[in-house]
Homo-oligomer: A and B are copies of this chain.
Amino acid sequence: MPPARADHASRREDVSAAVWQVLAEHGFGGLTLRAVATAMGASTGLVTHYFAGKRELIAHALDILETRTTHRPRRAVPAPGLPALRTHVLNILPLTPDAAAMNRIWLGSWDVALSDPDLFAAQAARYERIRESLRECVADAQELGQLPAGEPDHVASTVLSFTHGLVVQALFDPARFTAQRQTELTDGFLATLAVGR
For chain A, the bracket of interface size reads 35 or more
For residue A49, give the distance in angstroms from its CB to the closest CB of chain B.
24
Contact indicator B172/A157 (Cβ below 8 Å): no
A143 contacts the other chain (CB 8 A) = no
Summarize A's interface: helix, strand, loop or mixed. Answer: helix
A45 neighbours in B (Cβ, 8 Å): none
Contact indicator A29/B111 (Cβ below 8 Å): yes
A42 contacts the other chain (CB 8 A) = no
A120 contacts the other chain (CB 8 A) = yes
A8 contacts the other chain (CB 8 A) = no
A83 contacts the other chain (CB 8 A) = no
Contact code string A155-197 (vs B, CB < 8 Å = 1, else 0): 0011011111111110111001100000011001100110110
Of the candidates A110, A163, A184, A188, the one having the most CB atoms from chain B within 10 angstroms of its own CB is A110
Contact indicator B111/A107 (Cβ below 8 Å): yes
A26 contacts the other chain (CB 8 A) = yes
A169 neighbours in B (Cβ, 8 Å): 127, 157, 160-161, 164
A residues bordering B, Cβ < 8 Å? Answer: 25-30, 104, 107-115, 120, 123-124, 127-128, 150, 154, 157-158, 160-169, 171-173, 176-177, 184-185, 188-189, 192-193, 195-196
